[in-house]
Amino acid sequence: MQRGRLTRRQALAVREAAGGLCHICQAPIGIGQRWHIDHVKPLWLGGLDELGNMAPAHDRCHISKTSMEAGTRAKSDRARARHLGIKKFQPRPLPGTIASGWKRKMRTGKWERRK
């Protein structure tokens, strides 16, 4: 789902619909104070990118909420990938390491398979 960018008029409409209160801490958002628009139900949990699912939040409240959700979001992403059968990216091991299965002889400098 592609996120849409809100216009100033839409952002102010979201703020006015909430009565100028932060939906996380319920404190008023002062004039000149920094604030973000937050999805009440996050998009990664199936929330919609509509004005009805958006609410204003202080910038600090929003940042702390997002960082607290990071672990849960990562876990759900891993579970979803496992359910869909998507495998983790496994880069090739470096030559000469145990994982590569090859070793280099010190005297001759030739490569051979590990036994």
pLDDT, one tens digit per residue, over 50-87 is 999 999 999 999 999 999 999 999 999 999 999 999 98
Residue 107: which residues within 8 A CB-CB, separation 6 or more?
none
Kindly tell me if the per-residue pLDDT of 2 is higher than 70: no
8-87 CATH fold = His-Me finger endonuclease fold (3.40.1800)
Kindly tell me if the per-residue pLDDT of 13 is higher than 90: yes
Query: How far apart are the C-alpha atoms of 87 and 17, rounded to whole Å?
Result: 44
Domain boundaries, given as residue ranges, for the chain:
8-87
